[in-house]
Structure 1
């Protein structure tokens, strides 16, 4: 596991690697990443170290906008009697 990387996901058909980074959970998509690199990242003793050495700056990437959170009212609705 890694303190820097929260989660990874890979789409083999498009060679797209998604990485969620801690602590904010920002997700970046990396394009044209060979499957063997995803597997090596997945199995790495230190995913952060592997990412910095083998992926960062080597592939086109984009920040994926975080999902918008719902505004929840702190008020409790009560039923009229």
Structure 2
């Protein structure tokens, strides 16, 4: 299901890093994210709601700038 907040996201198992590109074009890397969190984000009906509840402010992140 498309999101009104998240444009794209991907997960790197080897580094447990979740990359999220927001609709605004901003790119963030969230670190030490369990694979289960990524899979639940992928399965979520509302990506933005899931992100706000289970990822935002829960994991350290690196802001990469704009896409």
- TM bin (shorter chain): over 0.9
Residues 10-33 of structure 1 deviation map (CA, whole Å, 9 limit, x = unaligned) = 0001000000011x2111000000
Partner of 2:66: 66
Structure 2: runs of 5 or more not aligned: none
Task: Compute the TM-score of the two structures, normalised by the length of structure 1.
Answer: 0.77
Structure 1: runs of 5 or more not aligned: 68-81
Q: Give the 4+ runs in structure 1 shifted more than 2 A.
A: none
Partner of 1:36: 36
Aligned length: 66
2-structure distance, mates of 1:49, 1:34:
18
Root-mean-square deviation (Å):
1.0
Structure possessing the higher relative contact order (Cα contacts under 8 Å, 6 or more residues apart): 2
Partner of 1:54: 54
More strand by share: 2
More helix by share: 2
Partner of 1:45: 45
Partner of 2:16: 15
- For the residue of structure 1 that corresponds to 2:36, the secondary structure is helix
